[in-house]
């Protein structure tokens, strides 16, 4: 049986697609770990793979997909685009504070919906393999639900219930576990000195002691922050293909006693 050719917008989706379907898929990831899901230009190799793809498992809220979705579809009008953000748990879907936050995969409950959507699409495409897809998908869902329970228990009542981040990538995570995210960057724009002081002052008042940064953040910005607000600096790559590692990095920093 010829493997289906699929495009995954980010690494964690590729991880789960591979776990669900194994050798039934060949997967191309648009944005690699350590990269930016907001500033994206497809490579020549990716363009070739897009032209050949059967499916694109997409997160349209990502800025590169908002900008490139139509051009990607023009490259391959026969490719089916699967919107993995179409269904979200109501607690996230109706939260105005999350509007414009494309990092929906940071909440296990949302990933459960995405995995179920992947399983449904692949099962309809390959019905003879659907029993295996559904079984393996259910294993992933159970892991995600168990991790969600662990995170809720670990972060219940944690103090301070707030953290600072340069790029505000953790809104869904914060919403899921009753935390407050103080983000420095706004829509990728330069930060003024006055705005920086305002956010850092608010963070200090909230007792923030942890500053999450993405790989490659300018050391000068880190110094400006820590000179004003003494805090631990933790590098976290939200594009890590192992999302469980990401969640453990966050919880180990926020609730080290656990």
Residue 209: which of 250, 157, 160, 166 has the closest Cα? 160
Cα 78-80-85 angle, rounded to 5 deg: 155
187-199 burial: b if 16+ Cβ within 10 Å, else e: eeeeeeeeeeeeb
**Could you give the 3-state DSSP secondary structure of residue 59?**
coil
Nearest to 136 by CA among 248, 4, 25: 25
> Which candidate, 246, 149, 228, 248, places its Cα nearest to that of 182?
228
**Does pTM top 0.85 for this prediction?**
yes
pLDDT at 95: 84
Q: Which residues does 218 contact at the CB level (< 8 Å), separation at least 6?
A: none
Q: Residue holding tokens 């900008």?
A: 67
pLDDT band at 73 (very low <50, low <70, confident <90, very high): confident
Q: What is the pLDDT of residue 43?
A: 75
- For residue 25, the cross-strand partners are 4
pLDDT for the residue numbered 32: 76
* Sign of the Cα pseudo-torsion (11, 16, 19, 22, in order): negative
Identify which of 158, 251, 241 has the alpha carbon closest to the alpha carbon of residue 212: 251
Beta bridge partners of 28: 7
**What six digits make up the tokens of 56?**
């694109």
Domains of the chain, start order: 4-152 (3.40.50.1980), 154-254 (3.40.50.1980)
**Residues 216-257: pLDDT tens digits?**
888 888 999 999 999 999 999 999 999 999 999 999 999 976
User: Considering only CA atoms, which of 8, 29, 244, 33 is closest in space to residue 144?
Assistant: 244
Distance CA(75)–CA(51), nearest Å, equals 6
pLDDT at 70: 76
- Residues 8-38 pLDDT 10s: 999 999 999 999 999 999 999 988 776 555 5
């Amino acid at each position: 049986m010829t493997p289906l050719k699929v495009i995954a917008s980010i690494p964690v989706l590729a991880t789960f697609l591979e776990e669900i379907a194994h050798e039934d898929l060949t997967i191309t990831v648009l944005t690699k770990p350590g990269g930016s899901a907001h500033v994206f230009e497809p490579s020549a190799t990716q363009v070739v793979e897009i032209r050949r793809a059967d499916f694109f498992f997409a997160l349209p809220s990502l800025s590169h997909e908002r900008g490139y979705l139509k051009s990607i579809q023009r490259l391959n009008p026969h490719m089916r685009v699967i919107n993995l953000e179409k269904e979200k748990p109501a607690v996230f879907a109706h939260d105005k504070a999350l509007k414009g936050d494309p990092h929906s995969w940071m909440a296990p409950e949302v990933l459960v919906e995405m995995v179920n959507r992947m399983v449904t699409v692949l099962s309809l495409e390959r019905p003879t393999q659907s029993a295996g897809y559904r079984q393996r998908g259910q294993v992933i869902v159970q892991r995600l639900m168990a991790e969600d329970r662990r995170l809720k228990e670990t972060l219940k009542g944690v103090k301070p219930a707030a953290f600072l981040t340069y790029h505000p990538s953790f809104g869904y995570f914060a919403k899921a576990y009753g935390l407050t995210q103080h983000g420095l960057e706004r829509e990728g724009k330069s930060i003024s000195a006055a705005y920086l002081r305002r956010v850092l002052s608010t963070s200090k008042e909230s007792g923030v002691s942890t500053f999450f940064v993405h790989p490659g953040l300018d050391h000068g910005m880190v110094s400006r922050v820590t000179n004003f607000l003494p805090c631990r600096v933790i590098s976290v790559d939200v594009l890590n293909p192992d999302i469980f590692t990401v969640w453990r990095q966050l919880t180990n920093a926020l609730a080290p006693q656990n």
